[in-house]
């Protein structure tokens, strides 16, 4: 009945409404008297209820009905907002989410699962009922007559009805056309009309916007009295309507004529009075309407002011575009950037100044286009932050802890892809903070802390990176405990004098957990290594700082975008490579004699500091002539300085990232490729991976030596 497109649109809309609802509920919990928020919750529930029934989600509609009633009472000031209600509504929201078909585990047609959901739903509704009966009984909704247009199949024998229809004078003001009603009666069966024109006043007194006619109708139909009632279903109480069933048609006709006459006489007698009355009434109505209109004006102004305060985005000023279209745009811009680089190269070879001028113009516009195209993909991180409010709330309830989540820099923008991939790592980190970091309220009191623990999420932009910090004021990380555990699991040699940063980085080792018991939340030792890996796959880095009994701070550093990066172009033999500029610190020269001085070991002395380096030529097995003077690019990788030896540093390059494709997925040390201005391909070095592998191999040789 309802096409699939509509159902999809509904699911999309409802999903949006539900996540908005969650946010509003959490806001409401903080400002329980905020009428706007209550109104928003009510509207969201109302829309979900109204729409879900239409798109075949009858269970949802039924389920939402009771919850909506509670909020109707709250809206009217008859119920206060309590934690209990918020809890129940949040649970109900989750049920609705499942009902929408979002929970993948429910996709299979498992009858038990469906029943379980229904039972859960019923429980929630019961609790609501209990709640509302405790405070005030919900008035049972009065059944409203529905528009019935199903043809009645029960064949009734034809009956005749005598209908007296006198519309109120201002029936037109309600948008009703009485002629259409009469036509509908005509469609029901055989009709005879008697039109009364006696009420029409003199032309000077007549209001052309009024209806002065009325009718007596004799209708013979087999459709029954309900069908006649349906015709007049929208007719207001101010119109006069009488429907009587008669057995003898002829007598009815006569009777009705008589009755009509009597009425006309009465009508004539009272005509003057009633006209006066109706005129008075009209004035009253008009002034009422005007008053109300004024009120409406001030109300809508208030709403507008409130909206400004809430920083709501005007729905009309934003546009929804599918991600694929955006990706395509970014792809095209990337192509343009590549082509533009070529244009610059060719133009610089010609002496034509006009071409040069155009090239510069194209360059400027291309950069602007690139920036705005990438900017479209940027989303404020606040949307992700707000999801965690719920997580913190649920987890702290489950673990019996009191935790408050504060956020900072929610307006900081990040690429959509980065943002999406950031979700899981952040969940892991926050879970850890609540489970291991924040202590129980009683413990906190003993340690002279407030019972309520705090987790602070902050985001800020620094250059081409976004810095995200997750700090808690919990127990902190016990260095000694980690060290002991690391030594026990042979991750560190005994009596090691590893630095704090090294010890903390143990947390990211796979399978590493110091939790004494495994809870449903964390402690299984998976998690932090996943966090590290996924952040690294986004070309970001993770750092931990922690003070025992004071708290832990985990900092994530992420690139703003994944599509185009600043790279450093380097040359080895005839090949060109790109090193991501964000982690490059400096470049130094190295002559063959320097290498000989340290007996060929891969270390370099920079202002008294010994820095190891990786010879890329050697690493990739590149043959050919080795120049006398070579260069080492010093990069900062997770706090360690490591050099990469290349033949020559060419310079900075706007690098459009291209993947190597599935075939080269497992190539280590190369994260992608880019196309240079002359059309040749340059590989992008994955310096983190290169460094990792090198240290691993080094530790092997150390082991062999020992």
Partner 1 sequence: MDRGRYLNKHKQRREMSKIILTVDDSSSIRQVVSFTLKEAGYTVLEACDGQDALNKITGSSLHMVVTDLNMPNLDGIGLIKKLRMDPIHKFIPIIMLTTESQNEKKMEGKAAGATGWIVKPFKPEQLLAVVKKVLG
Q: Can you give 327-385 as a three-state secondary structure string?
A: HHHHHHHHHHHHHHHHHHHHHHHCCCHHHHHHHHHHHHHHHHHHHHHHHHCEEECHHHH
User: Residue 60: how many CA atoms within 13 Å on its side-chain side?
Assistant: 27
Q: How far is the CB of 315 from partner 1 (least distance, A)?
A: 6
Strands (E), 409-479: 413-415, 453-462, 465-472
Question: How far, in Å, CA of 1 to CA of 7, rounded?
Answer: 11
User: Which is closer to partner 1, CB of 178 or CB of 523?
Assistant: 178
Question: How far, in Å, CA of 157 to CA of 599, rounded?
Answer: 114
User: Residue 429: how many CA atoms within 13 Å on its side-chain side?
Assistant: 28
Q: Tokens 């926050």, residue?
A: 430
Structural contact between residues 705 and 692, judged by C-beta atoms closer than 8 angstroms? no
Q: How far is the CB of 79 from partner 1 (least distance, A)?
A: 16
User: Which is closer to partner 1, CB of 303 or CB of 488?
Assistant: 303
User: Which is closer to partner 1, CB of 288 or CB of 537?
Assistant: 288
Q: How far is the CB of 241 from partner 1 (least distance, A)?
A: 15
Question: H or E stretch including 650?
Answer: strand 648-656
Token pair of 422, please?
A: 């950031």
Question: How far, in Å, CA of 366 to CA of 336, rounded?
Answer: 7
The number of angstroms, rounded, from the C-alpha of 215 to the middle of its chain's C-alpha atoms is 58
Question: How far, in Å, CA of 536 to CA of 540, rounded?
Answer: 5
Q: How far is the CB of 71 from partner 1 (least distance, A)?
A: 11
One DSSP character per residue, 591-620 reads EHHHHHHTTT-SEEEETTEEEEEEEHHHHT
User: Which is closer to partner 1, CB of 15 or CB of 407?
Assistant: 15
User: Which is closer to partner 1, CB of 55 or CB of 161?
Assistant: 55
Structural contact between residues 550 and 557, judged by C-beta atoms closer than 8 angstroms? no
Q: How far is the CB of 186 from partner 1 (least distance, A)?
A: 13
Q: How far is the CB of 307 from partner 1 (least distance, A)?
A: 8
Task: Give the residue among 193, 234, 239 at the shortest CA–CA distance from 215.
Answer: 193
Q: How far is the CB of 13 from partner 1 (least distance, A)?
A: 5
- Residue 497: count other Cβ atoms within 10 Å of its Cβ: 7
Structural contact between residues 610 and 603, judged by C-beta atoms closer than 8 angstroms? yes
Q: How far is the CB of 237 from partner 1 (least distance, A)?
A: 9
Structural contact between residues 146 and 230, judged by C-beta atoms closer than 8 angstroms? no
| Binding site residues, partner 1, CB under 8 A | 1-3, 5-6, 9-10, 12-14, 42-43, 46-47, 49-55, 58, 61, 65, 68-69, 72, 141-144, 146-147, 149, 172-177, 179-180, 183-184, 209, 233-234, 236, 289, 292-293, 296, 299-300, 303-304, 315-316
Question: How far, in Å, CA of 121 to CA of 114, rounded?
Answer: 10
C-alpha dihedral, 495 to 500 to 501 to 507, nearest 10°: 70
- 558-574 b/e with 16+ CB inside 10 Å = b? bbbbbbbbbbbbbbbee
Q: How far is the CB of 210 from partner 1 (least distance, A)?
A: 12
User: Which is closer to partner 1, CB of 13 or CB of 127?
Assistant: 13
Task: Give the residue among 542, 589, 533, 580 at the shortest CA–CA distance from 561.
Answer: 580
Q: How far is the CB of 300 from partner 1 (least distance, A)?
A: 6
Residue 169 sits at φ, ψ, to 5 deg, of: -60, -35
Q: How far is the CB of 188 from partner 1 (least distance, A)?
A: 13
Question: How far, in Å, CA of 590 to CA of 577, rounded?
Answer: 19
Q: How far is the CB of 35 from partner 1 (least distance, A)?
A: 13
The sign one gets for the Cα dihedral 122, 126, 131, 135 is positive
- DSSP, res 140: P
User: Residue 93: how many CA atoms within 13 Å on its side-chain side?
Assistant: 23
User: Which is closer to partner 1, CB of 10 or CB of 63?
Assistant: 10
Q: How far is the CB of 166 from partner 1 (least distance, A)?
A: 18
User: Which is closer to partner 1, CB of 228 or CB of 578?
Assistant: 228
Q: How far is the CB of 317 from partner 1 (least distance, A)?
A: 12
User: Which is closer to partner 1, CB of 182 or CB of 565?
Assistant: 182
User: Which is closer to partner 1, CB of 283 or CB of 596?
Assistant: 283
User: Which is closer to partner 1, CB of 315 or CB of 322?
Assistant: 315
User: Which is closer to partner 1, CB of 1 or CB of 109?
Assistant: 1
Task: Give the residue among 530, 409, 416, 503 at the shortest CA–CA distance from 458.
Answer: 409
User: Which is closer to partner 1, CB of 24 or CB of 465?
Assistant: 24
Q: Residues 105, 110, 116, CA angle at the centre, nearest 5°? A: 80
User: Which is closer to partner 1, CB of 21 or CB of 395?
Assistant: 21
User: Which is closer to partner 1, CB of 306 or CB of 454?
Assistant: 306
Structural contact between residues 64 and 16, judged by C-beta atoms closer than 8 angstroms? no
Question: How far, in Å, CA of 502 to CA of 263, rounded?
Answer: 101
- DSSP, res 658: B
Q: How far is the CB of 97 from partner 1 (least distance, A)?
A: 16
């Amino acid at each position: 009945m309802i096409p699939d497109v509509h159902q999809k649109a509904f699911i999309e809309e409802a999903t949006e409404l539900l996540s908005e609802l969650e946010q509003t509920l959490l806001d409401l919990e903080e400002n329980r008297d905020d009428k706007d928020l209550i109104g928003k919750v009510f509207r969201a529930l109302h829309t979900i209820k109204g729409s879900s029934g239409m798109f075949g989600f009858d269970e949802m509609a039924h389920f939402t009905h009771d919850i909506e009633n509670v909020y109707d009472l709250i809206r009217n000031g008859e119920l206060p907002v309590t934690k209990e209600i918020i809890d129940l509504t949040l649970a109900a929201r989750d049920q609705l989410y499942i009902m929408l078909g979002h929970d993948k585990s429910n996709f299979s047609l498992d009858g038990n699962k469906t029943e379980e959901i229904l039972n859960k739903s019923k429980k929630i509704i019961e609790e609501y009922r209990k709640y509302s009966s405790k405070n005030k009984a919900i008035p049972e909704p009065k059944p409203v007559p529905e528009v019935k247009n199903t043809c009645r199949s029960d064949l009734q024998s034809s009956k005749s009805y005598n209908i007296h229809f006198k519309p109120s004078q201002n029936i037109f003001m309600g948008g009703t056309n009485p002629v259409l009603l009469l036509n509908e009666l005509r469609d029901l069966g055989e009709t005879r009309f008697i039109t009364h024109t006696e009420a029409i006043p003199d032309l000077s007194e007549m209001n052309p916007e009024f209806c002065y006619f009325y009718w007596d109708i004799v209708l013979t139909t087999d459709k029954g009295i309900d069908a006649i009632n349906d015709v007049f279903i929208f007719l207001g109480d101010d119109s006069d309507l009488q429907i009587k069933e008669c057995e003898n048609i002829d007598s009815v006709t006569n009777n009705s004529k008589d009755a009509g006459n009597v009425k006309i006489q009465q009508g004539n007698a009272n005509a003057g009075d009633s006209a006066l009355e109706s005129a008075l009434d009209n004035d009253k109505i008009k002034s009422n309407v005007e008053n109300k209109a004024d009120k409406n004006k001030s109300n809508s102004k208030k709403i507008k002011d409130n909206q400004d305060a809430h920083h709501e985005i005007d729905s009309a000023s934003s546009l929804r575009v599918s991600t694929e279209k955006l990706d395509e745009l970014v792809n095209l811009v990337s192509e343009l950037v590549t082509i533009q680089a070529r244009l610059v190269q060719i133009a610089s070879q010609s002496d034509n100044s006009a071409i040069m001028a155009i090239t510069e113009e194209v360059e400027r516009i291309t950069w602007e286009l690139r920036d705005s195209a990438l900017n479209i993909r940027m989303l404020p991180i606040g949307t992700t932050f707000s999801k965690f409010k719920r997580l913190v709330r649920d987890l702290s309830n489950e673990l019996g802890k009191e935790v408050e989540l504060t956020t900072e820099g929610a307006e900081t923008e990040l690429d959509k892809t980065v943002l999406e991939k950031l979700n899981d790592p952040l969940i892991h980190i926050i879970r850890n903070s609540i489970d291991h970091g924040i202590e129980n309220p009683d413990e906190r009191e003993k340690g002279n802390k407030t019972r309520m623990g705090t987790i602070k999420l902050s985001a800020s932009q620094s250059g081409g990176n976004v810095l995200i910090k997750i700090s808690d004021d919990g127990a902190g990380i016990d260095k000694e405990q980690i060290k002991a555990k690391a030594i026990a699991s042979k991750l560190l040699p005994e009596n090691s004098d590893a630095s704090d940063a090294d010890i903390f980085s143990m947390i990211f080792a796979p399978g590493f957990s110091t939790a004494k018991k495994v809870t449903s939340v964390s402690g299984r030792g998976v998690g932090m290594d996943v966090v590290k890996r996924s952040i690294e796959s986004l070309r970001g880095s993770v750092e931990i700082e922690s003070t025992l009994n004071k708290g832990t701070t985990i900092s994530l550093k992420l690139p703003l975008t994944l599509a185009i990066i600043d790279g450093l172009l380097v040359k080895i033999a005839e090949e060109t490579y790109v090193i991501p500029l964000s982690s490059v610190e400096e470049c130094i020269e190295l002559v063959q004699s320097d290498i000989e001085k340290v007996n060929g070991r891969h270390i370099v002395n920079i202002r008294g500091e010994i820095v190891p380096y990786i010879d890329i030529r050697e690493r990739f097995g590149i043959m050919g002539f080795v120049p006398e003077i070579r260069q080492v690019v010093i990069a900062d990788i997770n706090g360690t300085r490591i050099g990469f030896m290349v033949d020559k540093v060419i310079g900075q390059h706007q690098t459009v990232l291209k993947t190597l494709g599935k075939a080269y997925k497992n190539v280590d040390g190369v994260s992608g490729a880019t196309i240079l201005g002359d059309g040749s391909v340059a590989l992008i070095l994955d310096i983190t991976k290169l460094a990792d592998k090198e240290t691993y191999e080094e530790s092997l040789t150390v082991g062999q030596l020992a």
